[in-house]
Amino acid sequence: MNPFEALGIEARYDLDLKEVEKRHRELSVALHPDKFAAVGPSARREAIERAARVNEAWRIVKDPVRRAEALFELAGIKVGETNEPKTDQAFLMDMMEMREALAEARDEKNLGKIRALADDAENREKAVKEAISLAVARAPSAQIDKHLLVSALPKLGELRFYRRMLEDVSAIEETLSEQAVAEGRAS
């Protein structure tokens, strides 16, 4: 499935997600099964299937990793950790150090250090997203340039690392916040 086509938007990485969300809502309303109650079962089934494709397309496009994967796949490049080049050792060591620092900050319940690590990861993630976006933007408008995307493929692996790191930061912040509330009630 081409998620960009399903939503009727241009296949590119740097999307205005608020506009895409608006498009998704419009399509969802237009394809709502209740609007097809009076038509035959095949038209209703087709609307339900299209609505499901639109919903799945939105889930793909709003996720920065899945959106990048979709663009690579549209260019005929297989993605997935087994199809991509091995991640640079220096990058892996850097990520391991960031993870260790995050674990230490979590154990210390040091929200300032956790937020600083999150800010660093967000800035790095932003640079990776820009690199992926640039590779796609350089391609001719009618077709994504496969060679440019192949050169950006290692960035996809980096993006996954940063997304996981930021998801872990969110979980840690939520846990520490809940603990603080529970401790406040216990006092």
Q: What is the pLDDT of residue 127?
A: 96
| Range scoring the smallest mean pLDDT among 23-27, 46-50, 162-166 | 46-50
Q: What is the pLDDT of residue 141?
A: 46
Q: What is the pLDDT of residue 37?
A: 67
Condensed to tens digits (0 to 9), the pLDDT of residues 93-147 reads 999 999 999 999 999 999 999 999 999 999 999 999 999 988 877 655 445 567 7
Report residue 18: phi and psi, to 5°: -65, -40
CB within 8 Å of 35: residues ≥ 6 apart: 47
Q: Can you tell me the mean pLDDT for 16-33?
A: 91
Q: What is the pLDDT of residue 143?
A: 56
**Are the CB atoms for 54 and 8 separated by under 8 Å?**
no
CB within 8 Å of 68: residues ≥ 6 apart: 13, 132, 155, 156, 159
Question: Half-sphere exposure (CA, 13 Å, Cβ side) for 147?
Answer: 1
Q: What is the pLDDT of residue 138?
A: 61
Residue recorded with tokens 């260019």? 75
The full set of domains in the chain, from first to last, is 3-62 (1.10.287.110), 89-186 (1.20.1280)
Condensed to tens digits (0 to 9), the pLDDT of residues 48-99 reads 888 899 999 999 999 999 999 998 888 888 888 788 888 889 999 999 999 9
pTM to 2 decimal places: 0.82
